[in-house]
Chains A and B, each alone.
Chain A
């Protein structure tokens, strides 16, 4: 079995992950539709993505904490291969979740949610950023529990002020100039651009999310034994 399949199996062995991937996103679909944009559930799904990716990346953190990384460093498997296989595995699981969520949104909302391909692409960019962010975040802590404890607070605040938990049009206009520095802002920004048919806004959202992802990957991929 190669590393990629092993990482997938390791993740789906945990019941909490199955619950996160399959059940929790669907509960969001029952939030009523919004008159000035996509239904709230489409934006709130960003919150689920943030937490799902964080929990899915747990094995990488545990490998470091249990000292398995030291054994891997002594084996013929390079750091690049180890990380890329694991991260791709997590992205695969998240992609499955996104596809299921979009199918669910089609069933529940029908035509109220359109241009699903663009939404899928935006969710994918956001997930890549979230996976990289989780990797970088966890590299700052020695234990997963402490990391998750601090993360849950920070992520909730980030999602709250950046338009994921509260629609963007409800936020004060002056605040937008500041929250643009948060990576989570670019999901609601991209969703709004898709709703308004603004392709430039959409591309910028993708670009910013991917640049953030690269920066977080550079920070998080540094080998710490």
Chain B
């Protein structure tokens, strides 16, 4: 695997340009150099390396430049070092700090030094603009990453909350069933029990007519209880037919024709997983409408003893479109995996999305 090419950054160009400037200065100093020029040259390098090594304010460079300016007042040939300081201040967007140096260069500089200064100013300012743009973009990318991270965290919280809500609603539902059973059936069954006991007592006393009346009352109470039980069950019963209807409606109302088939009972799925199945199918169909031009879409739901398997297949792959899975698919996968399910994709002549959802947690 080949290594990714390192990108060129402003600081790389900064050091290259500094190298060019230092080499140009050395070419001016070298043939007739004296020990003091060497010392000044080393001092300039020291100033630059010190600021590379430690994050000092660019203003502190004024002190170093002042040293060179004072030396240049006594030995004007040393103004050749000033373009390096001008470059430094241009890179750090401090044009005011270069005024004295530019005056000195104008007074004592040669043609070569003026050209060097012009190069230092132009390249320094361009580097500054580049660095500013780059840092602005980096900040933007950082804030987007932060935003994405926060969204992922929120999603995690929502999934946890969803699970907790499901637990709470299950408890509430149990309580509701208990209340219905107690309110509707408790009274009738108690009355029926008392009637049966009374009938038993009357029969032992050989009062068969009264016992018969009591038994008829008990039968009426039990019939009433049966009716109320049926009503309560109808009220409590989950609306599995409605969930299947929703999926059927989704398939029928889709912009492209969908061949829908369902085997088994999806009501075996927990309520929140049924909702997740519906939302995932909705997302998958939306993706097809966005990224494909199908002639046929098949949607099949199959319930086995352990899982529900949903397969959506379409033959409308747009050739040449890169396979990039967006956020919708990514979030769908995470939500399905959160309930111990799985999502897989098969891409050949057709595009096939397979969802597996477990019946038990």
Contact = CB atoms under 8 A, between A and B. Distances in A.
Contacts of A212: 42
B30 A215 contact: no
Given A204-B35, A215-B42, A181 B49 contact: no
Contacts of B49: 215, 218-219
Closest 6 pairs between A and B when the two form their complex, measured CB to CB = A204-B35, A211-B42, A218-B53, A218-B49, A177-B31, A177-B33
A103 interface: no
A219 B41 CA distance: 17
Interface residues of A, number: 17
Interface in B15-61: 26, 30-33, 35-36, 38-39, 41-43, 45-46, 49-50, 52-53
A219 B49 CA distance: 7
Contact of A180 (B33, B50, B52, B53): B33
A16 to B, nearest CB: 32
Nearest to B50: A218
A178 interface: yes
Interface of A: 174, 177-178, 180-181, 201, 204, 207-208, 211-212, 214-215, 218-219, 221-222
Nearest to A222: B53
Main SS of the interface on chain A? helix
A181 B26 contact: yes
B40 to A, nearest CB: 10
B35 A180 contact: yes
Contacts of A180: 33, 35, 38
B30 A211 contact: no
Contacts of B39: 204, 207-208, 211
Contacts of A208: 35, 38-39, 42
Contacts of B38: 180-181, 208
14 contacts: A174-B31, A178-B30, A180-B33, A180-B38, A181-B26, A204-B35, A208-B35, A211-B42, A211-B46, A215-B45, A215-B46, A218-B53, A219-B53, A222-B53
Contacts of B46: 211, 214-215, 218
Contacts of A218: 46, 49-50, 52-53
